[in-house]
Amino acid sequence: MLNRTLDDRYTILERIGGGGMADVYRAHDKLLDRSVAVKVLRPQFTDDEEFISRFRREAQAAAKLSHPNIVNIYDVGFDEQVYYIIMEYISGETLKDKIDREAPLPVETAVRIAMEIAEALEHAHQNNLIHCDIKPHNILITRSGRVKVTDFGIARAVTSSTMTNSGTIIGSVHYFSPEQAKGTSVGAKSDIYSLGVVLYEMLSGQVPFAGESPISIALKHLQEEPKPLRELNATIPPLIEAIVVKAMHKEPVARYTDIGEMIADFKLAQNYLRDDHTRRLSHTDFPTQILPTISQEAGETTANPVRQPHNNSKSILNETKLSKPWLLGILFLVLLGSAVAAFLGFGKFWSLNEITVPDVVGKQVDTARNILISNNLRVSVSEAFSDKVPAGQVVSQQPEAGTTVKEQRTITIVVSKGGEITVVPDLRGLNRRDAELQIKNSGLKLGRVDEQFAEGSQADTVINQNPRPPAQVTKGTTIDIVISKGTGPKKLSLPDFQGSLLSTVATQLESLKLKQGKITETANDKYPPGTIISQNPPPATEVTEGTSIDFSVAKGVPGAVRRAVVQVTIPDGPARQALQIVVTDTNGRRVAYEGTHKPGERIEKTVEGTGQVRVQVYVNEKLLQEQTI
């Protein structure tokens, strides 16, 4: 598929992923001059109507949605047995990649990601669409940290809150709901369950149920309870654990009524996760939502902190009902406590306590922030490109690690945005010097340089490059180029030189831009000595300019007379020039011809001798040419 152009518009540049049904490529949209992602149905499924229908359903389902947390669908098409979907190209990684690298994620990060997924699902549910396959592999995270939900390949359209799949099991076994495991009715609450599993994995670094086979895992979704989160990660607040427990309840009726209710609890959780001097509370937080969690976090004795929800409940945090006098009293105490906490926090600016600044260089930004805050330090974050430090990690900090500072001092950390991205310039048609300059000006490096003949191209110009434009690469990437050697050698049909004297073909070979190759003498009494008997390659063979031609010539019989035709052209010089042809053979040296001629005059004389015959031509007593016959 690489370098193929679909519908004369989308040029495939590189493979970036894939699954059991399709492969995903990065491509260039020539019409709009932008990078896009192309999802291509695998060839083995192009004749399977079920897969084609599922593939088209994904495009139709996702195309109805428009939300900042959902990957956009731009186009869908079919080109020469290739079914494809054109999607928004996301430069980043999957949530699964992030979990594998960093898990367990900081609680604040996990809650933020889960809430953005929930907001994407809320939009889908409002459009009567259930995703059915929420898992970290289908969640993309951009370089800026934004969450994007993708892969609506098994999404189902619904006309009410539930749907029936006729006993078909859909979804990914580690993340699907009990009702999906049973192949029964599936609704919006199935997505809520899957999101609870994803949040569980982000917080703990492991899926709630694992097994040796998909069937054993599915049975655990139906029959077993997951290991409590706080046993795996004691830093998780009870409030967050309660959200996961409610989302993952095995009975759909006991889960959140809808995804909007879950989002409300996420927002409330984010409010409590802020530190003292940044926490913001509203009147609606008291006391029906906040009180149970405050009691637990303060260490007070409470009944079961995670209760079974009532059918008419709107949140796990609003189940406590108190009389109005109690409401006013508790509201006053909480507000008074907040004021005191704010004053104490403000007073830290005059604290005499000193802190040794920890080293957070090379750590993920969320981890670095948590380390600094836990040391009673403030954090200021800025970003910068770096081709040496992976995106999201701390490049530098100020003050540096080991420095002693007062409490609440602001530590500035610079976070890598990864290598700076640039567009590969189009070098084709440029001469080599200009191409190298263009590569340098784009922040790229010259890689391998190859040369080859190219019909119709000027020598020393670029005829190909890799990567090709308009690929987006990190600055410092090497660009390989191919330089033209000009139009290749011409081809011609080889003449028949047989029967000609070897001494007469030199001029013809030169005019044809051929070379005289190996000469072999063969005794032959049918041809005069020096006559070409055969040639290699043979006559009429198609050869290129510069080819060497080997000849076999007749060798004279010992004692026989050898003859040759001597051709002389008088060179420029005096008006009258003396020409002398001298023959040396077994009989000695003698003058075979002598005369006076004008410049440019052409003289042709036959000479003969026996044995080894040498012919020398003199003009004005200077040797002009010499040959042996």
Residues annotated as part of the active site: 133
- Report the distance separating Cα 415 and Cα 362, nearest Å: 9
Type and span of the H or E element at 147: strand 147-149
- Report the distance separating Cα 335 and Cα 25, nearest Å: 55
Beta bridge partners of 568: 603
Q: CB-based contacts of 395: which residues, under 8 Å, 6+ apart? A: 361, 384, 386, 389, 414, 415, 416
- Report the distance separating Cα 491 and Cα 466, nearest Å: 31
Q: At CA 343, angle to CA 342 and CA 345, rounded to 5?
A: 65
User: What is each CA distance from 240 to 114, 166, 188, 208, 270, in whole angstroms?
Assistant: 11, 35, 21, 16, 10
Question: DSSP of 318-386, one letter per residue?
Answer: ------HHHHHHHHHHHHHHHHHHHHHHHHGGG---EEEPP--TTSBHHHHHHHHHHTT-EEEEEEE--
In which residue are the tokens 């019909």 written?
A: 455
Instruction: Tell me which residue of 290, 301, 302, 366 sits closest to 331, measured CA to CA.
Output: 290
218: left (phi over 0), alpha (psi -120 to 50) or beta: alpha
Helices 365-374 and 107-126 meet at what angle, rounded to 10? 130
- Report the distance separating Cα 530 and Cα 502, nearest Å: 6
548-555 and 577-585: which strand pairing?
Answer: unpaired
Q: Say how many C-beta atoms besides its own lie within 10 A of residue 272's C-beta.
A: 17
